[in-house]
Amino acid sequence: MELSVNIDHIATLREARKERFPSPIHAAVEVELGGADGITVHLRSDQRHIKERDVELLKQVARTELTLEMAATSQMASIAKRIKPACITLVPEAPGEVTTQRGLVLLNQKEDLKSYISDLKKYGITVGLFINPDIEQIKEAARIGAQYIEINTNEYSLLHRSKIRDEIIRIARVAKAARREGIGVHAGHGLDYRNIQPLLSVMEITGYSIGFAIVARAVFVGLRQATQEMVQRIKGVR
Ligand code: PXP
């Protein structure tokens, strides 16, 4: 199981003061020294935290896999084709949202998305789709050429621990269906040091994308240690 750390909030802090620090590049180095398998950033259309230049520099500096989260727009496609991150996770983007609100609804935009994905793949990019744990969407994800899905764990993360059983079952069903279609399975959104634990029983999930909880902990213990602690949770290292 792999951990990709989302470092958007390092840029959020930088932009709060319109400063040049803290730098996402420095963050990427710390996260890698902490044992992460990848770096993730979301280049929003308004570039309110991560900027195009950050993605460019991260591509040059990161020694692990760089994942770019982005909306499926033509502006983003041209940036992606130029920078060529290892992976792209396509996400829906609503103007003014604080964070990604939901997964993609594949049934509404399938044909456009199919050619969009195949175009990105020509540049050697692995393309995934951020979707809610909705089994109906798996066949569609396979048909339009997704190489992995990232299951939106936002709803799961909001449930009290005593109420998570059904949601874990739902997530596991979706993960198994995706594997049967030959699609990789990641999960992310709202995951933290506690709620990650029960999810680890879903063996089909091979990658986690976690940001806020790690950056929030980093304020107190540093980014390297905060990453190490999550790596220990995920990989069971004592
Ligand atoms: N995955 C996706 C698609 C996201 O949009 C985000 C938030 O940027 C994350 C994972 C990470 O979520 P969190 O910051 O809550 O860990």
Q: What is the pLDDT of residues 147-168, one digit of tens each?
A: 999 999 999 999 998 999 999 9
3-state secondary structure of 64: coil
Q: Which of 100, 102, 195 to mutate to test the pocket of ligand 1 (most atoms within 8 A of CB)?
A: 100
Domain CATH code at residue 218: 3.20.20.70
Ligand 1-lining residues (CB < 6 angstroms): 6, 8, 42, 69, 89, 91, 99-100, 130, 150, 188-191, 209-213
CB contact at 8 A, 69 and 41: yes
Check residues 98 and 201 and name the one with the higher pLDDT.
201
pLDDT band at 238 (very low <50, low <70, confident <90, very high): very low
Give 181 Cα–ligand 1 centroid separation in angstroms. Answer: 24
Rounded-to-integer distance, Cα 68 and Cα 72, Å = 12
Q: What is the predicted pLDDT for the residue at 236?
A: 85
Query: In the chain, how many domains are there?
Result: 1
Task: Compute the residue count for the chain.
Answer: 238
- Helices 212-221 & 8-16, crossing angle to 10 degrees? 60
Boundaries of domain holding 219: 2-235
Give 234 Cα–ligand 1 centroid separation in angstroms. Answer: 17
Q: Which H helix or E strand runs over 5?
A: strand 2-6
Rounded-to-integer distance, Cα 25 and Cα 182, Å = 34
Which class for 206: exposed (0-12), middle (13-18), buried (19 or more C-beta within 10 A)?
Answer: middle
3-state secondary structure of 73: coil
Catalytic site includes residue 229: no
- Does the pLDDT of residue 110 top 70, yes or no? no
Cβ neighbours of residue 171 closer than 8 Å, sequence gap 6 or more: 133, 151, 153, 156, 187, 199, 202, 205
Q: Which amino acid is at 54?
A: D
Q: What is the predicted pLDDT for the residue at 107?
A: 76
Q: What is the predicted pLDDT for the residue at 109?
A: 63
Q: Provide mean pLDDT across the span 38-56.
A: 96
Catalytic site includes residue 69: yes
Minimum-distance ligand 1 atom for the alpha carbon of 192:
16
Q: What is the predicted pLDDT for the residue at 95?
A: 80
- Helices 136-143 & 165-180, crossing angle to 10 degrees? 30
pLDDT digits (tens, 9 = 90+) for 60-87: 999 999 999 999 999 999 999 999 999 9
